[in-house]
Amino acid sequence: MKRIKIKDILSSDKSQYEACVKGWVRTFRNNQFIALNDGSTIHNLQAVVDFENTSEEILKRITTGACVSVTGTIITSLGKGQKYELKASALEILGDSDPEKYPLQPKKHSLEFLREIAHLRFRTSTFSAVFRVRNVLSHAVHKFFQEKGFAWIHTPIITASDAEGAGQMFRVTTLDLKNPPKTESGEIDFSQDFFGKSTNLTVSGQLEGELAAMALSEIYTFGPTFRAENSNTTRHLAEFWMIEPEMAFYDLNDNMDLAQELLQYVIKEALAHCADDLQFLNERLLEEEKQKPQNERSEMNLVDKLKFCVENDFQRVTYTEAIDILRESNHNKKKKFSYLIDKWGADLQSEHERYLVEKHFKKPVILIDYPKEIKAFYMRQNEDGKTVRAMDVLFPGIGEIIGGSQREERYDKLLQRMQEMHIPHEEMYWYLDTRRFGACPHAGFGLGFERLVLFVTGMTNIRDIIAFARTPKNCEF
């Protein structure tokens, strides 16, 4: 008999039919009731075993974690909390799971413990919910851009360029580390390396994305990026996925409109397609927040917070306005920030971003027109000579979720900025060429996919929304 997914059984309005269900045992009670989960939904299906006609040997092997195939009749359940159950007529053990050794007991485990057994944590309700939401969000990203006619560009993973400034990249090499070839001056001779030059893993696909936008008009990337930054925070990974749209003929306002539309669209998709999972994660979060003092708890529950973001425009504020707000804030005056804001030009830390979003505006914020000193060389310079057309989208609980800008399309201005910032402009002739041949105003941004998943799932550590986190001193599985 063909296998039916639990999700399809629970969402149908049929009963009294034969079905075969395969999945993993969550619990087995009274030698009779299996809570079976196959990952198609957060909900388990109860399979009722005819224990009088099942051998003792088989009953003993129905343990938490075991994989079973159950055939029988789907009937309306008399039990609480479930519409249907499976009255088993045949049961086969597909894979045993020794209950003495299986690390996942049918009880609540801490997220820290589950991180150590990340190869098994998919089997918990929390993680299966997280990965279903992650999947829906990633599909929604593609849906959004494809509906708008953006072309998905696959930018290289291995690159010889450094869009962000050196020091944070992972080197890619096939040189013998024990005995690397040296140049006459004693430096490592990368001309003998695989690519004939020094290469790294990409930190961003933006620069290549811009090249494509200068022909296809509207493109996006969605791929892995790598940063060797030693930031051990709950929001940074060494390997993460980024979505980077680049659009010809867009100015900063168009860019902000697109960023808001994208975020609202994908959150809406998650609300529409992951209702059960989000409800579960909502309750998980409420439970978790009970441990916290009242003043640290969220003002809104997860689902309300998501709806709020979908229904309200993001607040658009200039960096200069934000600095004034922060400087005048009680938080600053009472020295509650770790980094006090004393003057214009200061880089904003996550604590400041979150203050603006969570305490001051109480909604997502888009900060624009940052000082050029704290932003990248490719951002379009404003007339004031001090600021650039940058935008950061800041989200509650997260801080920066998107960083973007209108790009500098004027050749002379771009070259001058590259020189000032010691960007090797000869090597980047290909980037400058787009400004020499048929340049146009254009803009784009980078959305950190994991930060989005973090926000939508209400999880609090970025290590818990990617299957296998890569962070400093940690590359398991």
Residues of this chain that bind ligand ATP (CB under 6 A)? 227, 229, 236-237, 240, 242, 400-403, 446, 448, 450-451
Q: What residues have CB less than 8 Å from 449, skipping those under 6 apart?
A: 137, 138, 141, 222, 240, 241, 242, 243
For residue 452, the number of C-alpha atoms closer than 13 Å in the C-beta half-sphere is 31
Helices (H) and strands (E) in the chain, counts: 14, 16
**Of residues 144 and 190, the one with the C-beta less far from ligand ATP:** 144
Q: How far is the CB of 394 from ligand ATP (least distance, A)?
A: 9
Closest CA to 236 of 118, 391, 399: 399
Closest CA to 124 of 64, 83, 47: 64
Question: CB 52: neighbour CB atoms within 10 A?
Answer: 7
Q: What residues have CB less than 8 Å from 311, skipping those under 6 apart?
A: none
**Of residues 380 and 451, the one with the C-beta less far from ligand ATP:** 451
What is the spatial distance between Cα 177 and Cα 199, in angstroms, rounded to a whole number?
15
Q: How far is the CB of 259 from ligand ATP (least distance, A)?
A: 10
Q: How far is the CB of 110 from ligand ATP (least distance, A)?
A: 23
**Of residues 104 and 391, the one with the C-beta less far from ligand ATP:** 391
CA angle 58, 61, 63 (to 5 degrees): 135
What is the spatial distance between Cα 267 and Cα 310, in angstroms, rounded to a whole number?
7
**Of residues 34 and 388, the one with the C-beta less far from ligand ATP:** 388
Q: How far is the CB of 399 from ligand ATP (least distance, A)?
A: 6
**Of residues 11 and 233, the one with the C-beta less far from ligand ATP:** 233
Contact 419, 425 (CB under 8 A): yes
**Of residues 121 and 227, the one with the C-beta less far from ligand ATP:** 227
| Joined tokens for residue 179 | 């005995």
Residue nearest ligand ATP (C-beta atom) = 448
Q: How far is the CB of 404 from ligand ATP (least distance, A)?
A: 7
Question: CB 364: neighbour CB atoms within 10 A?
Answer: 24
For residue 237, the number of C-alpha atoms closer than 13 Å in the C-beta half-sphere is 23
| Joined tokens for residue 166 | 């050196």
Residue 73, beta-bridge partner list: 18, 87
Q: How far is the CB of 405 from ligand ATP (least distance, A)?
A: 9
**Of residues 89 and 232, the one with the C-beta less far from ligand ATP:** 232
Question: CB 244: neighbour CB atoms within 10 A?
Answer: 25
Q: How far is the CB of 444 from ligand ATP (least distance, A)?
A: 11
**Of residues 40 and 457, the one with the C-beta less far from ligand ATP:** 457
Q: How far is the CB of 235 from ligand ATP (least distance, A)?
A: 6
